Amino acid sequence: MTEPATDQATHPAEIRLVLADDQPLIRTGLRTLIADQPGLTVVGEAGDGAEAVRLAAGLRPDIVVMDIRMPGMDGIAATRRIVAAGTAKVLVLTTFDDDEYVHAALRAGASGFLVKDMALEDILGAVRVVAAGDALLAPAVTRRLIAEFVSRSAPAPPPLDGITGREREVLALVGRGLSNHEIAAELTISVATAKAHVARLLTKLGARDRVQLVIIAYDTGLVTPR
């Protein structure tokens, strides 16, 4: 839904990561990849959710890359604790058959969702997007999972009375999974203007990030499951 920043000035000089996955091979693969990337540093590894929570509290990384299915405390419970404590943002890795887990992780406060068969460079791009303060859903996950997620019982969405007609249009496009560049092209506005509209929507609707805007767009009927 969003593009990785290409300008080094748009994201921190160093992004500190904790990798949480019960499969050592996956952690090793990610660590090896990240070791070659400027501005990314793995500061810790966890094999379960409880360890991820402890490392997040002790190391204060920028992002925890979190598996969902792990022994003991799973990634959902760990995400909820990390987000509630404000110790790090969480970027969740999932697979196509993890729908129920992803629905729960949305409510737990994860800032991004990726599938494990994505290209490694896309995973790195997502890390930078989330570190820069945005949120990201893998396109293959967005439409299917969000559509199913919002059809279930959920808290009442905030009213949309306080947003302008243009902001309503932008919210609908965010809900469809469009990036800021795609929104700008769709509405024939500048990318900076698109970003400004999204920022105002976050403030007016009390949304934590772009993921919550997607949920609001579905909950309020601006976007409907296809």
pLDDT of residue 5: 41
Q: Which residues of the chain have pLDDT under 70?
A: 1-13, 96-103, 134-158, 225-226
* Packing angle of the helix pair 191-205, 165-175 (nearest 10 deg): 90
According to DSSP, the residues that pair with 19 across neighbouring strands are 45, 65
Give the model confidence (pLDDT) of 59-85 as tens digits: 999 999 999 889 999 999 999 999 999
Q: How far apart are CA 174 and CA 182, in angstroms?
A: 10
Tens-place pLDDT, residues 94-121: 775 566 666 677 778 888 878 777 777 7
Residue with tokens 């905030």: 158
pTM, rounded to two decimals: 0.69
CA distances (Å), 51 to each of 32, 58, 71, 162, 226, in order? 21, 10, 11, 42, 39
pLDDT value of position 165? 93
Q: What region, left, alpha or beta, does residue 143 occupy, with left being phi > 0 and alpha being psi -120 to 50 degrees?
A: alpha
In the prediction, which pLDDT does 143 show?
55
Distance CA 70, CA 52 (A): 11
Report the residue count for the chain. 226
Count Cβ atoms within 10 A of the Cβ of residue 186 and give its class: 0-12 exposed, 13-18 middle, 19 or more buried.
middle
